[in-house]
Amino acid sequence: MVCMRACGHASLVGSLKSKKYAAKNTRYSIRSFVSYLSNYKLRMFIVAALFVAANVFLAIIPIFIGKLVGALATTPPQTSNAIIYVWALIVCSSGHDILWRSAEIAYMKLLNPLLYSYENILFSEVISKPYPYFVDKFTGKLASYVSTISQEMRGLAETFFYNYISQAVNLLAIIFILSSINWQTSIIFISGIILMAIAGKFTIGNSIKYERIAADVVSTKNGKIIDIIGNFISVKAFHKEFQELQSIRLEQTKTIKAANQSFAWSIFFWGSMSFFVRHLIWPITIAFNVHMFLNGQISIGQLTTLLATILLFSSTIWDIIWQFSQLNLKLARVEEAHTYLFGAVKLKHSSEVARRVAGPIIEQSLTLNNLSFNYPDKADTTVLKDISIVIQKGEKIGVVGKSGSGKSTLAKLLLGYYPVANGSIELDGQTIDTQSLSQLVSYVPQDTSLFHRSVSENIAYATSRDVEHSDIVHAATQANADEFIVNIADGYDALVGERGVKLSAGQRQRISIARAFLDDKPILILDEATSALDSESEVLVQEALELLWEDKTVIAIAHRLSTLRHMDRIIVIDNGHISEQGSHNELLKNKGLYAKLWLHQSGGFIEE
């Protein structure tokens, strides 16, 4: 049994190269989970009390076995006492069974729903993180860690009620029964258990380090698999199946190598535990008590109770050791996941994801005052420098510049993805933060990735209002999308494939414009909205855009300068700052960067 259990450590992994695994483990994951459960103390108490009661009935059985043997061993046998002890044994056995079933039913009704809900809590914590959080993370790893933590926590709770409680009750009962026979035996047991705890703590500590590495390696591998499958279009297009398989094999090799190191510690752990039980506690206790019996210091009944208790101890102690090792390994796994998702903090479970409410409105103008910006991970590189623009309500602004000059970064700020640290944004003369500003912005990106949901759901995604089907059709018609939607099988109910793969780029873009029609915010940001399209799609998309932006304030980033010729004003960004601005004709007359870009355009694109 020992070997089978030890051999079950399939995911013990890791080489101890990285220092972060050796860092002091402060158990933020378990503390967060306990803080969640602490809201449900009464339920926990009821279930725990039922399990304790069920286990007490089982743990006291050796006492009655000893008494029964004692009553039968006298001459003549004490028949009436023996009958009472038989009844006591029956009551203990049946009582245990009834209480155990009741505890299980209470667990199912009172705790199981809470435990499953923990995944929602974690998902809510993750999804409410700001934009930069996701930029820095491996999305596949995020998904796999959310389910790792919730699964492991469910497992831990189950183990606590089903195993730890019975082990604690058994251990207390064993010590109590043994002390009632003679104090020397209880001293042998207590000393043995203390020595086991010391040796166990040392050996398991090493397994924990490896298990954290394991969690990291395994989840990185899972994240890669999700990433590869998610990008199956590129894999197929470039025939990279073999290379991707090789990269996963490499990850697998790391896992196996580390597993063997950890396995060695596992064997050492079980070996030391087995040594204490089989070579010390068992032989010393049995030899000592048989000696006492032969000297007439304990009765045959007491010796029987003792032997029955040792049997109970054997099954209990292996369970305790197994659970102890598993607990530590599981905690190491969840701690690694927790640190990746949330950092070294205890969750307060307060992140309610609020439904967006209608934002402010624009009466006159939007002003950017001396905006400068660095990405959080590139503190020494200023991407936007002293950007100052006044945009009048209804004005159509084009933003151009070479690739990497900072155009999309400006859009990201206006969309509220990052807070503004340097400079300010004013709406009608009042300073406004980017989060609030984002509530009056509709966005059409270069390539819209859609959810694997129906066309209608994808369009309706833009708004938190309750919309009728006719609203969705109207928005799609304005976006020149209705004509292709009605021609696909299932029409508005058709599923679009993961990230919208079943639709062409032009079709996805028109869905995105339909979203913006439905969203109907006063400011519209277009980020290269037509640059990925063929000319036929571009005409349809451009037509739809012009209808969309009629009564809106527009900021349109474009690579293809011809699409911006008729904008009220064009802002030229060069290396993060505004180098010039004016209408298309004014900028051409200026003979500055814009005129140069215009001249250098071949086929409508800026030459890099």
- Among residue numbers 118 through 177, which ones bind ligand ADP (CB under 6 A)? 135
| Main-chain phi, psi angles of 391, to 5 degrees | -110, 120
Q: Under a CB-based contact definition with an 8 Å cutoff, are residues 203 and 269 in contact?
A: yes
Least distance between ligand ADP and beta carbon 417 (Å): 9
Q: Which residue of 408, 439, 583, 590 would you call a contact of ligand ADP, by CB under 6 A?
A: 408
CA quadruple 379, 380, 382, 386: dihedral, nearest 10: 90
Q: How many residues bind ligand ADP (CB under 6 A)?
A: 13
DSSP 169-223: HHHHHHHHHHHHH-HHHHHHHHHHHHHHHHHHHHHHHHHHHHHHHHHHHHHHHHH
Q: Where are the beta strands (DSSP E) in 351-429?
A: 365-373, 384-392, 396-400, 422-427
CB of 401 to ligand ADP, least distance (A): 6
Q: Does the protein bind ligand ADP through residue 205 (CB under 6 A)?
A: no
Q: Please report whether residue 96 would count as binding ligand ADP according to CB under 6 A.
A: no
Parallel/antiparallel/unpaired status of strands 430-431 and 441-444: unpaired
Nearer to ligand ADP, 205 or 404 (CB): 404
Q: Which two tokens stand for residue 107?
A: 């667990």
Closest approach, Cβ 578 to ligand ADP, in A, equals 13
Instruction: Determine if 522 is a binding residue for ligand ADP (CB under 6 A).
Output: no
585 binds ligand ADP (CB under 6 A): no
Q: Does 458 bind ligand ADP (CB under 6 A)?
A: no
Dihedrals phi, psi of 174, to nearest 5 degrees: -60, -50
Taking the complex as a whole, how short is the minimal distance between the CB of residue 576 and ligand ADP, in angstroms?
7
Out of 14, 301, 401, 522, the only residue in the binding site for ligand ADP (CB under 6 A) is 401
* Binding-site string for ligand ADP from residue 354 to residue 383, where x marks contact by CB under 6 A and - marks none: ---------------------x-xx----x
Measure the CA–CA gap between 21 and 127, rounded to whole angstroms. 27
Are the C-beta atoms of residues 409 and 373 closer than 8 Å to each other? yes
Q: Which span (115-123, 257-265, 402-410, 452-460) binds ligand ADP, by CB under 6 A? A: 402-410
Closest CA to 1 of 333, 214, 268, 317: 317
> Which stretch, 122-130, 163-171, 403-411, 427-435, contacts ligand ADP (CB under 6 A)?
403-411
- Measure the CA–CA gap between 200 and 207, rounded to whole angstroms: 11
With contact defined as beta carbons under 8 Å apart, do 442 and 462 qualify? Answer: yes
Tokens representing 331 are 């905690």
**404 contributes a contact to ligand ADP by CB under 6 A:** yes
Give me the phi and psi of 565, to 5 degrees please.
-55, -35
Pick one of 70, 140, 192, 406: the residue that binds ligand ADP (CB under 6 A). Answer: 406
C-beta closer to ligand ADP: residue 304 or 409: 409
Print the binding letters for residues 211-250 with ligand ADP: x by CB under 6 A, - otherwise: ----------------------------------------
Shortest Cβ distance from residue 402 to ligand ADP (Å)? 7
446: contact with ligand ADP by CB under 6 A:
no
**What is the contact surface with ligand ADP in residues (CB under 6 A)?**
135, 375, 377-378, 383, 401, 403-409
